[in-house]
Structure 1
Amino acid sequence: MNDLILVLNCGSSSIKFALFDAAAQPLPRTPLWNGKVDGITGPRPTFGETGVAPSPVALDAAQPYHAALAHIRERVRARLGSRADMQYRIAAVAHRVVHGGAKYSAPVRIDAAVLADLKAYIPLAPLHQPFALEAIESLLASRPDLPQVACFDTAFHHTLPDVEKMLPLPWSAWERGLRRYGFHGLSYAYMAVALAERHGDAARGRAIVAHLGSGASLCGMRGLESVSTTMGFSALDGLMMGTRCGALDPGAVLYLMEIEKLTLEQVGHVLYHESGLLGISGTSSDPRDLLAVEGGDERARAALALYVRRIVRECGALAAALGGLDMLAFTAGIGEHNADIRARVCAGLAFLGVELDAAANAAHAPVISTPGSRVRVAVEPTNEEWIVARNAACIAGLAAG
């Protein structure tokens, strides 16, 4: 019987899954099988898997999220049942959970008490936390014997010094748990592994990792540990993103509510869904779309300019916190694949000694800086699923390399 780990990454409109072979040691970084149900709350949900084009899937309109989870479970069972050459079983389920609060600084096996704690953190991540917990609760009810492990996006940043965690609010806010937590920690945890393997001492020095996707943040690392990051109390903070505003003068929020009379719900929608690249450009949250039209579209140019400026400015702040910079690494969808954005960011960081090799950058090479660059610039694909699977294997008592 071969043990498998099922990784679930539950978002508001999609559920990604991956199956890892826990019997292979060290744990392979490529899953045996992965895919996702997408568009769960929309009119045309789809199911897609590795190497196969997405196809329509029928979901119960009354409970589409439960239906999507049930569909994944059925497809996994069918997939395992079709393997006549050997027997497989799901030995553990691992979940990406965005918020672990101040209590959870490491992965944890989930029971009723842990689930209750995680539900208390829903107000800290209202657009992310509930969906993972819905999957966890459903599995606890149907398969209480099956080990479930929560892996937290906030956990990597527990090494932040208190001066980085504090918000300049009354001290009682700190005592109530209002602090900078940091996010994208599973991506940064993988980068701490992968960059050290590929770059050695350069990665162990003063490094900035740029996780640039639809959500985006930077992490300043020293000794492969987080010492500063751009996201704080919520996933709204820091960099300008696809549809999220990033760091914003709180007076602007007060103005929207007091003068323009937006409700709390309306303001939240603006900040999470109508800002960032989409808000400035008015057309798209994807830099590729904006780069294609910026020559004749003033708002697209403005959106891209502000997006890059915010990355450059925050890199400068992290370099100051680190006391210098030895490495800059790009990861996630935009960071890994968009050479134009990388080139513009690196041009803005020339004052730190960043020199870009244009040909290497265009080829998305692992190192895109020149040999003479004072800062090594890297491109490294992230692998949050593997980090989650590896953590779950350890917690569930399955050997992991």
Structure 2
Amino acid sequence: MNILVINSGSSSIKFQLIQMPSKTLICSGLVERIGEKDAILNYKTDIVNLKKTHPIKNHNDGLTRVVNLLLDVDKGVIKNTDEIAIVGHRVVHGGNSFSNTTLITEDVKGQIGEFAALAPLHNPNNLIGIEVAEALFPNAKQAAIFDTAFFQTLPEKAKKYAIPNELYKKHKIQVYGFHGTSHKFVSEKAIQYLKLKTSKIITIHLGNGCSMTAVVDGKSVDHNLGFTPSNGLIMGTRSGDIDHAIVFYLVNSLGYSLEKVNTLLNKESGMYGLTGYSDLRDIQAQAEKGNEDCQLALAMNAYRIKKYIGAYVAAMNGLDAIVFTAGIGENSSVIRAMVCENMDYFGIEIDKSINELRSSEIREINTSSAKTKVLVIPTNEELEIAKQAYNLVNSL
């Protein structure tokens, strides 16, 4: 059974075509820097390794290009769309409505759309991915896998805000958590790799969107994104943690509209607001050239991560390992080194030479004497999505 997995993110589209249940990867790719004139489309099969720069305007355009590649006479891997049995979609926000993988219906799409206000950079793009896939693969089953599902195990003391109880009970205002597919995948890999019967692990997902999760014995017990994927760490264009009174100051004293504040905090803040760049590769390059704004932004980014590590060690009363994953976590030796610097109190010490190495496999970058393991684990949200979609359809 061929399953096409579409991970339609805030500024990128990841895709994989996977044969299940063998978990055989047929092809994969990434469309990144969507909306920029130098958007990049990567496409890989056993015999094709293609990288092109296109002016990809939006997610609809990007997904259409992906499907055209799959069907290409020379480079494609399928002859017609009926060869795709299931399309699995990553959906960021499912609220309390979805705790498991579900087949997509008009009602499900409606609810995904309703949650767009809580995940404005993601749910709209997730929904576009679904609607484009429905049109291009009319005979395939469409399945949604929700980022919020992994955080159903958060204890009430961790997911409830200190606001009137009615807002929690009636309106479901609480911590939902995001990047759950990634945190679930890498935490399970870490437990298997370390052969732990009991475990206390912090997973650190660093990309354009960033998040951290405290995981005890494979279950999430705390997470630093909340009601929406906008607080916590400093992200590409999102501010992360901020004093909520600043919102009122912007509105009441500086004349901002609420819509403008929302745009400011979601699309104009974070690393972009600090430096003028949202892509960490550009920021690191400028920092190396002496750009002080970029240097400070990197320091702020690492400092915020370090604070959450401390908080989660306290919450779990211990630490076996920290895991770096996702685009920045897997590829930026600079950020990993800055995060792990002066963390020996927690048993965190990295080998600088090993940290600089690149690999597509799980690897330890801690020193041999370190008490805490520091792992770099490539996430594979697409494989996790394929597994869950296959299991759902197979159980019907």
Distance change in 2, residues 1:374/1:45 (3 Å) = closer
Residue 393 of structure 2: aligned partner: 396
Residue type matched to 2:51 in 1?
Answer: A
Distance 1:285 1:260, change over 3 A: farther
Pick the aligned partner of 1:53 from 51, 54, 69. Answer: 51
Which deviates more, 167-176 or 80-89?
80-89
CA distance in 2 between partners of 1:242 and 1:305 (Å) = 14
Q: Deviations over 1:226-258 (max 9, x none)?
A: 111111111111011222111110011211111
Q: Partner letter of residue 392 of structure 2?
A: I
Alpha-carbon contact 1:107-1:391 (below 8 Å) kept: yes
The residue matched to 2:83 in structure 1 has which SS? Answer: strand
- Equivalents in 1 of 2:309, 2:253: separation in Å? 34
TM-score (norm 1): 0.87
The alpha carbon displacement at 1:105 in A equals 1.2
Matched residue, 1:338: 332
Match of 1:383?
380
User: 5+ unaligned residues in a row in structure 2: which ranges?
Assistant: none
Tell me the alpha carbon deviations over residues 289-320 of structure 1, each in whole angstroms, 9 at most, x when there is no partner: 33653573332232122111111111101111
1:156 to 145, 150, 154: 150
Give the conservation status (yes or no) of the 8 Å contact 2:187–2:203. no
Q: Secondary structure at the match of 1:312?
A: helix
- How high is the TM-score relative to the length of structure 2? 0.88
Counterparts of 1:220-369 in structure 2, within 5 Å, are 220-283=214-277, 285-286=279-280, 289-290=283-284, 293=287, 296-364=290-358, 366-369=363-366
Q: 3-state DSSP class of the match of 1:157?
A: helix
Instruction: Show the counterpart of 1:97.
Output: 91
* Secondary structure of 2:5's aligned partner: strand
State the one-letter code of the partner of 1:340. V
Identity %: 34
Alignment correspondent of 1:184 = 179
Match in the other structure for 2:192: 197
- Partner-residue secondary structure (3-state), 2:71: helix
Q: Distance in 2 between matches of 1:65 and 1:285?
A: 18
Residues 38 and 53 in structure 2, CA contact (< 8 A), matched pair in contact too: no
Distance in 1 of aligned mates of 2:272 and 2:61: 31
Preserved CA contact (<8 Å) 1:287 1:304 = no
Q: Deviations over 1:9-36 (max 9, x none)?
A: 22355433211112x52x23xx211224
Where 1:135 maps in the other structure, the secondary structure is helix
Matched position secondary structure for 1:75: helix
Corresponding residue pairs, total = 388
Task: Please list the CA deviations of residues 176-197 of structure 1 after superposition, one character each: whole Å capped at 9, or x if unmatched.
Answer: 0111111111111111232122
Classify 1:113/1:283 alpha carbon distance in 2 versus 1 (closer, same or farther; 3 Å): closer
Partner of 1:11: 9
CA distance in 2, matches of 1:398, 1:105: 17
Inter-CA distance 171–43: structure 2 relative to 1 (3 Å threshold): same
**Code of the aligned partner of 1:275:** S
Distance verdict in 2 for CA 1:83–1:273, change over 3 Å:
closer
Q: Report the Cα offset of residue 393 of structure 1.
A: 0.9
CA displacement at 1:54 relative to structure 2: 1.2
Cα distance change on mapping 1:41 and 1:374 into 2, 3 Å: closer
Distance (whole Å) between structure 2 residues aligned to residue 388 and residue 146 of structure 1: 16
Asked whether the equivalents of residues 70 and 76 of structure 2 are also in contact (C-alpha less than 8 Å), the reply is: no
For 1:388, what is the secondary structure of its paired residue?
helix
Q: Which residue of the partner structure matches residue 165 of structure 2? A: 171
Hey, what's the Cα distance between the residues in 2 that align with 1:87 and 1:121? 30
Which deviates further from its counterpart, 8-17 or 341-350? 8-17
Q: Which residue in the other structure is 2:208 paired with?
A: 214
Over 3 Å counting, the alpha-carbon distance change for 1:256 and 1:106 in structure 2 is: same
Once the two structures are TM-superposed, the CA of residue 145 in structure 1 deviates from its matched residue by 4.2
Cα offset, 1:66, TM superposition = 4.1
Structure 2 partner of 1:32: 26
What letter corresponds to residue 178 of structure 2 in structure 1? F
